[in-house]
A and B are shown apart, each in its own frame.
Chain A
Amino acid sequence: MQVSSAQIFLMPINLETTSHQPADSELVSLAAGGDTAAFDELVTRYRGKVYALAMNMVKSDADAWDLSQEAFIKAWKALPAFKEESRFYTWLYRITHNVCYDWMRKRRLRDSEEFEEQLHADSVAVHAPTAPQVAELPDRAADHRELGAEIATAINKLSEDHRVVVLLREVNGLSYEEIAEVTDASTGTVMSRLFYARKKLQSLLQETYDSL
C-alpha cells in the first residue's frame, strides 16, 4: 500500500486553535492562494448552511450530501476569481444554488424522457380512464393536520424559482439584494417572486389556518 496517501489524509490543519477566529476574508485569501487548511476551515464553518440549502432545494439527504460536496469543490476552483465586494457566504450560496438547480433541471429532463419512453412502451387507449383518486387514509390525513407538514407540502407546490426565493428570505434571512445575487435575478424579480410565493402559500394554507 502506498503510504503517501495516508500522510496526505492525516495532514494536520495548521490553523491556530486559540480563541482567535479568523475572519472569512482572511481564510478566503489564504485558500485562494492554495492553503487547503484554510479552505477546510471554511468548509467546517459553512457545511451546515450549504447542506441545509441543498436539502431544502432537492429534498433528499443523499443527493444533498453529494451536491454540497460538489458546491465546495466548485468554490475551491473558483476562489481565485472571487471578488471581495461579495460576501463569501452569499457567493457560496450562489454556487450551491446553481449546482442544485442544474441537478434538478437534469433530473426533470431525465424523468420526462423516462416518462416518454414509458408512454411508448405501454400503449394506452385514447379514452382509457385515468387512475382513480384514492382518498387519504384517516391516520395520514390526521398527521397532515400538523401545520409544519402542511407548510412543507405547500412549499413543495411552489415552482423552484419561487421556493428558493422564499426559503432564502424566510429561512436563511438573506436581503433582497443578496437573494438577487444568489439567484442571478434582479431585485425587482426577487420582490415579485417573494410576493407571489407568499400569496400562494397563504392561499394554500388558508384552510389549515382556519381549522386551527
Chain B
Amino acid sequence: MTPSEKSLLLHKLIDGELDEPEKVAAERLLETDPMFRAELESLRKLGDEMRRGFPADLEPPSPDFFNTRIRHQIEEEQYAEANRTNSRGKELPEPRGMRWFAFPWAVAAASLVVAVALGLQDRDTGERGLAWAGPGGQTSVGTTYTPAAVVEADAFFSDAAQATVIRLTGLPRIPSEREIAGHSAASYRPSHVGTPVEIRDRGGRISVAMLSGVPGQPPNFF
C-alpha cells in the first residue's frame, strides 16, 4: 500500500466512511503499523480540540426576538406579495414593522410584553449592518414597532443624551426588576424613578436610553 493510499484510508477511517474491504485493511494496519496508529491518534486529538473550540450549536443572542423578527419579515413578504397580487387594486394598510434592518430588543414589562425594533441607517453609506447610534448624527432611526396596543413607541437620536432614545408612551414606568436585553450591549443600568434605562457600548458610552414618556412633553433625561 502506497503512503497516499494509507493516508486516504486513515482519513476515511476517522470519518467513518470505510467500506468493508477498507475496514479489513485498516484493522490490519492498526495491528501492524505504529506510524498509522500514531497518525490516527493525532487526527483524533485534532478533531476533539476542534469540537471543544468551535460550537456546533450556539443559541443566538435574544433568541425569542430572533424568531419574532423572522416571523415579522415573513409577514412583510406576505403583505408585499398580497399587494402585488391584489386583483382589486385596493391598497392594503402598510405594516409598521422593520423594513430592511432590525435591531433586536426584547422588553418585558410586568405582564405586558413590549418589543421594540429599531432600524438604524448610516446616513453616509446607507449600508445594512449593525450600527450603534453615535454622536454627530451618524445614525438615524428607521421605524419602531410595538405589539401592545396601549403603548406607543417612538425613537430618535438625542443630542442631550448623545444616544438613541426609545420612548414608550403609555407605559407608566419601566420596571427596574426587568432586564432589557440589547444586542451586543456591554452594560445595562435599569431604570429608577425619574431616570431612563441606559444601555452602554463597549466604550462606556450610552448608546441607547429608554424611558417612559408623557404625550406632548419633551423627554427629561437628567
Contacts and interface: CB of A to CB of B under 8 A. Distances in A.
Contacts of A47: 59-60, 63, 66-67
Interface of B: 7-8, 11, 15-17, 42-43, 45-47, 49-61, 63, 66-75, 77, 93, 95-97, 104, 113, 115, 128-130, 145-149, 152, 183-184
Given A2-B93, A62-B184, 8 more contacts: A1-B96, A3-B149, A6-B147, A43-B70, A69-B73, A147-B49, A170-B46, A201-B46
A73 B56 contact: no
Contact of B46 (A1, A68, A205): A205
A50 B51 CA distance: 16
B57 A6 contact: no
Contacts of B60: 47-48, 51, 64-65, 68
Interface of A: 1-6, 8-10, 36, 39-40, 43-44, 47-49, 51-52, 55-56, 61-66, 68-69, 72-73, 76-77, 147-148, 151-152, 155, 166-167, 169-173, 175-176, 191, 194-195, 198, 201-202, 205, 209
B68 A9 contact: yes
Contacts of A194: 11, 15
A63 B61 CA distance: 12
B54 A171 contact: yes
A194 B95 CA distance: 47
B182 to A, nearest CB: 12
Nearest to A199: B7
Contacts of B51: 170-171
A8 B78 CA distance: 12
A194 B17 CA distance: 13
A51 B77 CA distance: 22
A6 B151 CA distance: 10
A93 B61 CA distance: 20
Contacts of A39: 70, 74
A145 to B, nearest CB: 14
Given A62-B130, A73-B74, A170 B47 contact: yes
Contacts of A8: 72, 75, 95
A5 B95 contact: yes
A155 B43 CA distance: 14
Query: 4 closest Cβ contacts across the A-B interface?
Result: A9-B147, A52-B58, A62-B130, A51-B60
